[in-house]
Amino acid sequence: MNGDGLPPLPDGALPFDEGRTVDVHWRDRFSGLPTTWPRAGTGLEIRGGGAVAVDTSTLRHTAALFLTAQADLEGICRRLGDPQGTLLGLRDQAWHALSSVTVLFQRLVEVRAEAERIADSLREAAIAYELVELNAEHRAAFAAGDTERAARIDARVTRLSQEHPEAWSTALRSEFDRTVNWPGELARQAAESGLVVGSEFGGPVGIGTGAVFGLGTIAGAAMLGIGGQGRLSRDARLSGQAGPVALTSVAPVQAAGAPQSLTAVTQRMPGAGDSRVRVEKYSMPDGSQQYAVYIAGMQSFAYGGDDPWDNQSNHELYTGRQSESYAATTQALAEAGARPGDVVHAFGHSQGAMIGSHLALEGEYDTRTLVTFGNPVAADVGTGTLSVTLRHTDDPVAALAGGGHNAAVGAPGSFIAERVAHTEIGLADADVPAHRMTAYAETAAMVDASSDPRVGELQAVFDQLATAQSVEVTEYAATRGERAVSPSSGGAG
């Protein structure tokens, strides 16, 4: 008995309310899944996108620098040879000097060998990552029916894999690790949340619930990754026809003027009130017009209710069909003055991110910029669109994109910014805090504070918009059905 008059706990057990216990061995084994799916760091990672987060040209350049250093060290060793020989002849008079020169010579030989080893490793790593990129490009070319390009890529992969078998093995391991580990943080949190919640009903229930949550997440992620449902190819187009939708202009929540940061973008995202789409019309110094459109995420859990930003639109957009929310967005652009071919910069959260992605893929407008927060899809928007993706590794909605494309997408300077947004587990995860716009606003501020040069490409878009001679802002509410209300023109100037 212990001091509380209760029998002692068995070895490896933890107390819970009302004397319930959970076996530490099994709990550790279960929450010990991090040996395979390690706990992700909570810091921000900015990368170019795709399976490779490494710039292969930088690896090759660095390898060349190490080879140059190795050659310089070899030259120094040769120059040390003469004084070392002289001192050897005078070793009785200059023993200490000879000893120092010998030690220095040996150290230089070791450093030279290390520089050569690092250069070789960097070259092999560059080839391995190039093979990963080539495999992704080969799949994309094959899917697009470009058999000639696929054959060229296949020939290069064959040659590199034969010349560098170790790099080929590294490439295969890298692709496997990405396929298995991309949902790692989500699976870990699901398993631990199931363990915590289930343990309220007893240790065995906690273990079982954790297993169901964790393995279910892994299985679902595997299906998404293999099926590729959330990865939109460059030629993906929406099918079907949306039903009628009515727009009503509402008062803008923010004054006009170009956003000067990602944080400013998050502050303009509609959805807090009746607004669903915000359009900014920029009159540029050369007389042309540019437009920025901000698109809200899902606002209703209904399926087919009055609000087009609901689960019906989620389902339609995710399965490649035109939704009333998409139709409302294009109608809002038209009401604001945008015409086919005009320059558009699209910003969207969740369902709004899907709408923006399809807007870029459809090609009606010259979509120069696509910035998404918690996007359920990953769109290959082509090299004419700067693609900026903010996603949280513990956001199950963003996980619907199946880990994204294996190859980087978008114009040069496109990037993905990732982090773990919500480290708490248990019932706190029920309302998906990592998907909230407030969480993505925090991530946006981290991106703004980053010194990564790719962020400068997005800043250049903001700087260009800031040169506009005037800005008109209109925000729209939307209603599904025939109850059309003619939106008033104009807006804040």
Q: At what angle do helices 165-181 and 95-143 cross, to 10 degrees?
A: 60
- Whether residues 210 and 257 fall in one domain: no
- Whether residues 240 and 351 fall in one domain: yes
Residue 126 binned pLDDT confidence (cut-offs 50, 70, 90): confident
- Whether residues 108 and 88 fall in one domain: yes
Q: Is residue 26 over pLDDT 60?
A: no
- Whether residues 167 and 188 fall in one domain: no
Q: Are residues 205 and 22 in contact, defined by beta-carbon separation less than 8 angstroms?
A: no
Burial class of residue 215 in the structure, from the number of CB atoms within 10 Å of its CB (0-12 exposed, 13-18 middle, 19+ buried): middle
Of 155, 180, 205, the domain-final residue: 180
491 found inside a domain: no
1 found inside a domain: no
Cα 19 to the center of its chain, rounded Å:
44
Q: Are residues 401 and 376 in contact, defined by beta-carbon separation less than 8 angstroms?
A: yes
DSSP one-letter code for 492 = B
Q: Rounded to an integer, what distance in angstroms lies between the CA atom of residue 238 and that of residue 455?
A: 31
- Whether residues 85 and 156 fall in one domain: yes
- Whether residues 30 and 146 fall in one domain: no
201 found inside a domain: yes
6 found inside a domain: no
Q: Are residues 354 and 400 in contact, defined by beta-carbon separation less than 8 angstroms?
A: no
398 found inside a domain: yes
What is the pLDDT at residue 481? 84
Q: 3-class SS at 408?
A: coil
Burial class of residue 47 in the structure, from the number of CB atoms within 10 Å of its CB (0-12 exposed, 13-18 middle, 19+ buried): middle
- Ranges assigned E (strand) in 100-162: none
Give tens-digit pLDDT for 259-303.
Answer: 999 999 999 999 888 999 999 999 999 999 999 999 999 999 999
Task: Tell me which residue of 407, 359, 363, 410 sits closest to 382, measured CA to CA.
Answer: 410
Give tens-digit pLDDT for 131-144.
Answer: 777 777 776 677 66
Residues in the chain: 493
- Ranges assigned E (strand) in 171-325: 231-232, 245-250, 277-283, 289-295
- Whether residues 203 and 118 fall in one domain: no
What is the pLDDT at residue 490? 39
- Whether residues 253 and 398 fall in one domain: yes
What is the pLDDT at residue 90? 61
Give tens-digit pLDDT for 182-214.
Answer: 566 666 656 566 555 555 555 564 456 545 554
Residue 36 binned pLDDT confidence (cut-offs 50, 70, 90): very low
At residue 273, what is the residue type?
G
259 found inside a domain: yes
Q: Which of the two residues, 84 and 330, has the higher pLDDT score?
A: 330
What string of DSSP letters covers 155-172? HHHHHHHHH-HHHHHHHH
CA Rg value for the chain: 29
Structural domain boundaries enclosing 201: 15-37+184-227
- Whether residues 255 and 291 fall in one domain: yes
| Sign of CA pseudo-dihedral 123, 127, 130, 132 | negative
- Neighbouring C-beta atoms of residue 236, cutoff 10 Å: 15
Q: Which of the two residues, 10 and 364, has the higher pLDDT score?
A: 364
The H or E element that residue 372 is part of is: strand 366-373
Task: Tell me which residue of 284, 320, 332, 326 sits closest to 308, measured CA to CA.
Answer: 326
Q: Is residue 372 over pLDDT 90?
A: yes
Mean pLDDT over 230-254 rounds to 90
Q: Rounded to an integer, what distance in angstroms lies between the CA atom of residue 138 and that of residue 147?
A: 9
Cα 218 to the center of its chain, rounded Å:
19
- Whether residues 312 and 386 fall in one domain: yes
Q: Which of the two residues, 43 and 103, has the higher pLDDT score?
A: 43
Of 165, 198, 227, the domain-final residue: 227
Q: How many domains does the chain have?
A: 3
- Whether residues 321 and 263 fall in one domain: yes
Residue 313 binned pLDDT confidence (cut-offs 50, 70, 90): very high
Residue 486 binned pLDDT confidence (cut-offs 50, 70, 90): very low
The upper half-sphere exposure of residue 126, i.e. CA atoms within 13 Å in the direction of its Cβ, equals: 16
Q: Which of the two residues, 458 and 481, has the higher pLDDT score?
A: 458
The pairing of strands 366-373 and 386-392 is parallel
Instruction: Report pTM.
Output: 0.70
Mean pLDDT over 369-392 rounds to 95
The H or E element that residue 203 is part of is: helix 203-227
Residue 39 binned pLDDT confidence (cut-offs 50, 70, 90): very low
User: Considering only 257-266, 419-428, 432-441, which range has the smallest mean pLDDT?
Assistant: 419-428
Of 154, 180, 206, the domain-final residue: 180
Give tens-digit pLDDT for 57-116.
Answer: 666 667 677 667 767 767 776 776 666 566 565 655 556 666 766 777 677 777 777 777
What is the pLDDT at residue 125? 73
What is the pLDDT at residue 120? 74
488 found inside a domain: no
Average pLDDT, the chain: 77
Q: Which of the two residues, 468 and 428, has the higher pLDDT score?
A: 468
% of the chain exceeding 70 in pLDDT: 66
Mean pLDDT over 461-476 rounds to 96
What is the pLDDT at residue 408? 79
The pairing of strands 13-15 and 21-23 is antiparallel
Q: Are residues 405 and 49 in contact, defined by beta-carbon separation less than 8 angstroms?
A: yes
Q: Is residue 239 over pLDDT 90?
A: yes
419 found inside a domain: yes
Q: Rounded to an integer, what distance in angstroms lies between the CA atom of residue 354 and that of residue 359?
A: 8
The pairing of strands 45-47 and 21-23 is unpaired
- Whether residues 280 and 374 fall in one domain: yes
What is the pLDDT at residue 107? 75
Mean pLDDT over 35-61 rounds to 61
